[in-house]
Amino acid sequence: MKNSNVQSTGLYPDIDNNGDLCKSNIKDCDIIIVSTLYHKEIVRSMMYSFISTINKSTKVSIGFVESPGSFELPITIQIIAEKYQPKLFLAVGCIIKGETNHDSYLSSSVTEGLMNLSLKFSTPILNGVLTTNTLQQAIDRAGKNLDKGKDLAEAAIEMLAFTSNFK
């Protein structure tokens, strides 16, 4: 974070050394996180909080796949869902408004794509793609201040409990 007006001290640490992630083999994972490479510090902060919260409440295996950007999240999830059957997907990314309306088109397309896939595969796909006006808003939501990673974990726990009644 090179912008001097941006305070990123509230972010969680990176999850690269987290032993709870099975990056190489997602075949038997209960949850598969598909994250973007854009705004990696923000995305990884949300993932850290998500994983920490999940691990306090339940024992699940968590897999991890990277997608180039938010637009590629739906196709990445579709390719995985056609081969494997996780109990839940988490899509994590960050879209920050620029000078054009590109962010609106992108976020709408991604949201619709994720919803359609969730219905097609009867698998919960949590939308953890932040859409903010500023980098600072993204940092606040991804970090300890508003903690969207924790919110997503709580939703995941509820959806896993709900769907277990029907499978």
Two structure tokens written together for 16: 């690269």
| DSSP structure class, residue 60 | -
Cα gap 139→79, rounded to integer Å: 30
pTM given for the model:
0.88
| Domains along the chain with CATH numbers | 25-164 (3.40.50.960)
Query: Average pLDDT of the chain?
Result: 89
Phi and psi dihedrals of 163, rounded to 5?
-70, -25
User: Concatenated DSSP letters for 101-156?
Assistant: SHHHHHHHHHHHHHHHHHHHHT--EEEEEEEESSHHHHHHHHSTTT-HHHHHHHHH
Two structure tokens written together for 128: 């953890």
User: Concatenated DSSP letters for 68-82?
Assistant: SSGGGHHHHHHHHHH
Q: Which residues are identified as catalytic?
A: 102
Q: Name the burial class of residue 113, with classes exposed (0-12), middle (13-18) and buried (19+) by CB atoms within 10 angstroms of its CB.
A: buried
pLDDT at 155 > cutoff 70 = yes
Give the pLDDT confidence of 43-82 residue by residue, as tens digits: 999 999 999 999 999 899 999 999 999 999 999 999 999 9
Find the mean pLDDT for residues 92-121.
95
Percent of all residues in the chain with a pLDDT value above 90, rounded to a whole number: 77
From the list 34, 30, 35, 37, the residue with the least C-alpha distance to 55 is 30
